[in-house]
Amino acid sequence: MPQKTVPDPREVGELYDQIDNKGVLHFGYWESLEDDTPLAAAADRLTDVVAENLRFAPGASLVDVGCGLGTPAVRIAGQADVRIVGITVSAEQVRKAGERAAGAGVADRVSFQLADAMAMPFADGSFDAAYALESIIHMDRRTALREIARVVRPGGHVVLTDLYDRTGGTAGERSLIHFLAQAWLMSPLIGRDDYPALAADAGLEVVEVRDVTENVLWKTLQQLGDQLAAGDHSMVPEVIVDSLDEEHRDEIIETPAALQGAHELGCLLVTLRKP
């Protein structure tokens, strides 16, 4: 069955606690479907695109909403004069992200803490800007966006990536990619044109909603399929595969083309502004 409710943040945290020591899926950005940039470099490129859209000034204070292992925060802090606070519901991610910041020599400006993005422990207007890479998919979007708007100062930008359902809710058997979305504890998928209403509800203005499905999602799945075909299963954590039914478990392990041709999901790069 498709995911119908918003997952419990504690369960999301426990999921990521289990997969932190494995190759965790992280999206990249490619210029075209023919671009053969390796995933790690493409992921850095996506971080750079997000940072550019944030339009922050030197000395700005940013919040990384759903910071993961801290790679984007450390990269941004290594290239700009900013202070970043990253939050996550995974205790393991807090620990590993802190180690990453220390190893990169930016721990004096980048910190991480255990916190729920839908109830952030920060005062109103604490940050100049906010970003959320591949994290709002686990949250109630309206609640999360209202919280982000609350902690960002007027004039600040909010940049995020989100997934949407390209099937339009059509009837029929659910695809492999939808089963994966459920296993990864994602919130109910949105439609491509839902962000204007979501932003307005949170008191935010839409600067741009850009469909980056081909640049981001399909290329990531393509590279994932290539790795599976080569016998490398590290980017599909066992805890995710084990949660699938037998038919779909066999499909993801034995048929990489199922991922490479999975076009049911789309990806948006969203830039918002707090008036």
Range in 37-46, 129-138, 203-212 the model is least confident about: 37-46
In the predicted structure, residue 24 carries a pLDDT above the cut 50: no
Separation of alpha carbons 126 and 61, rounded Å: 8
The proportion of the chain whose per-residue pLDDT surpasses 90, expressed as a percent, equals 63
Per-residue pLDDT at 239: 63
Highest mean pLDDT among 34-38, 203-207, 243-247, 263-267: 203-207
In the predicted structure, residue 141 carries a pLDDT above the cut 70: yes
Question: Could you tell me which residues come within 8 angstroms of residue 36 by beta carbon, excluding any fewer than 6 positions away?
Answer: none
Tell me the DSSP string of 134-198: S-GGGS-HHHHHHHHHHHBPTT-EEEEEEEEETTTT--SPPPHHHHHHHHTTPPPPB-TT-HHHH
In the predicted structure, residue 15 carries a pLDDT above the cut 60: yes
Separation of alpha carbons 165 and 168, rounded Å: 6
Note if the pTM is more than 0.85: yes
Q: Which of the four pLDDT bands, split at 50, 70 and 90, describes residue 26?
A: confident
